[in-house]
Structure 1
C-alpha cells in the first residue's frame, strides 16, 4: 500500500487479499492519539511469541515487552520483498491481540486488531519509490530468511541471517537519521502537556456527568478526596462509585492506580469504570462493570460489546542506602 493509514488499494498481499480484497495491516501506520498500532496475521491467530525475543523469563498471555524494533516488509511490484517501514522501541504483547474500534466515518472496519504499538515519532513509513531495501525470501534464498511465516524473529543464528540483520540495522539507522531532519507528513505527535490532559479529563467528566444526570442521578465530585473514584452518583437508595477514564482516541489506554483497583474489587457491585473515547471530538461513553473470572478481573459493558482484561502489575521504588546496617534496639 502507499499509506497504510486505512482502507485503500492493495497490490499483492497473498491469498487472503486475493480472496477478500483487504487485510488487517491496512491501518499499521494510522496515527491515533500519538501512537500507531501494528497488525500481522499469525497462524491460528496465535500472536507473537515473546520467548523468541527474550527467553530469560516466563511469559504469560498478554504480557508486554518494551523496546523492540519492528520492521514491516511487503512484496513489491515485480515480486521482490522490500522494507516498507518500521517502529522503533515498540511494545509487543505475548500471544495475544488487542482490539480497538475503527472510525466508521473513515470507512474503517468496526473492530481492528493489533499485536504491537509504538509512539508515532518513533515510526517511519517509506515513500513508495524509496522502498529499495530488499528482504531475501526463504524459499528462494535459503533457510534463515523471512518467508515461511508472516512473522520473522531474526533467523536461527545462521551466518546468512546474521549478516542480513547487520545490514538491516545499518540501513534503519542511516535512514532514520536522514528522516529525523525532515518533517514527517501526517504524523502529528500528541504532546503530553498539562493543558491537553486537563481538556481530555474535563471532557470525559462532563460526558459522564451529563449521562448520569439524564438518568436521574444526583452527582458529586470527589476527585480530590483520593477515595479511589472520581464521582458519586445517587438515586434514591442507590449509590454508584464512578471512576472516569478519558481517551483522545479510540484505543483503550488507561491504568487503575492501586487505590482505584482495590476499591474496584471491594465495591464491585457499585463501582463503574466510565471510559470515554474521542474526548475532544464526539465523546463516546462506555460504562464498564467489574467482573471476576478464573483468569482474573475484567471490565465489561452490560451488553458485553466491550470487554477489557485487567493485568496486575507489581512495582518497586528504588532508593540508595548507606553501607552501615540499620541498628536494632
Structure 2
C-alpha cells in the first residue's frame, strides 16, 4: 500500500539548517515582517530526528491521510516540502520526509532552536528518510494555476491523483527524471580568440555540462546551441524546466567577463531573463576550476533593474559598455 502524501508550502531556503546566511524567501504573511520563518530548521536534526514546521493557521485533516475519526496522529506519511523559487516565481518540490509521523496538534513538540526561538512542530521524521534537494535539483513544478485540485492559498495540500502519481515516481527515482535517450552530441564552443582562449572556453563549457548532467545539477539534458547565435551557449532541460545558460571561461581567478551585444540583449529580454543563467568558470584549465552561477532573482528585480545572483548571495554587477568603429577618410 502506498504511503499517504501531504504537501506543505514553505519559504524558499538553500539548506534549511537555520537562518544564518540563509534567508527565508517567500510571500507568506510572517515573512513580510520577519527575516526568517520557523521552517528554517526543517532539515536540521534535533533529538536525533527531524521536525517539520507547519504554520499554526494551517489545519491538517488526518482523515485525508488515512486516520480514523478519533486518531491524533498518522504514521508512515510522506511529507513533500514545496516552495516558490525567487528565480522565476514558480513553486517547486524542494525536499521530503519519508516515514513521518503527523500529529493533529500544531504544537505537539516544542523545540528551542539555536536562535532562542521555541518552535512548535506537528511533524516528526527519521533523518535517514529525509531528502533535501540542492537548488539546481529543484525541477519538479507544483501546479498552482487557479483551478480546482491545484495548490491554493493554504500551506497544506493533499495533491490531485495525477500529480501524486507523478511525485511517487519522482521520489522512487531518487528525485531525478529519466534523461531523453537520443541526446544530441555537444559541439565545441565557438570562439574567435586565440587558441588558448578556445581551450579556456571549451573547458568552461565542459564544466557546465558536467555539472548540469550530474545529480547535484539536477540530472538534466544539455544541448549545445553555441553555433546558433541565439544569445546563450547551452539549453539545459529537465521535465518542463528549461534554462538558457551562457558560459564564460576565465584562465585566472578574477571574476570579470563580457557579454556580446546579442547575449546581453537576450539576457534582458522579457521572454528569456527568468531562465537566463550566467555560468562563469574561473581557473578553467586548472584542477582548482570553480563555477560561479548567477540566476535571475525576481524578488530583488524591480522596474528596469534586473538582478542575477548566486545561491550564496553574490550579486552580478552589470556595467554597460558603448563601442565605436573608427575609420579614416
The interval holding the TM-score normalised by the smaller chain is: 0.3 to 0.5
- In the superposition, the TM-score normalised over structure 1's length comes to 0.46
Considering fraction of residues, name the structure with more helix.
1
TM-score normalised over the length of structure 2? 0.46
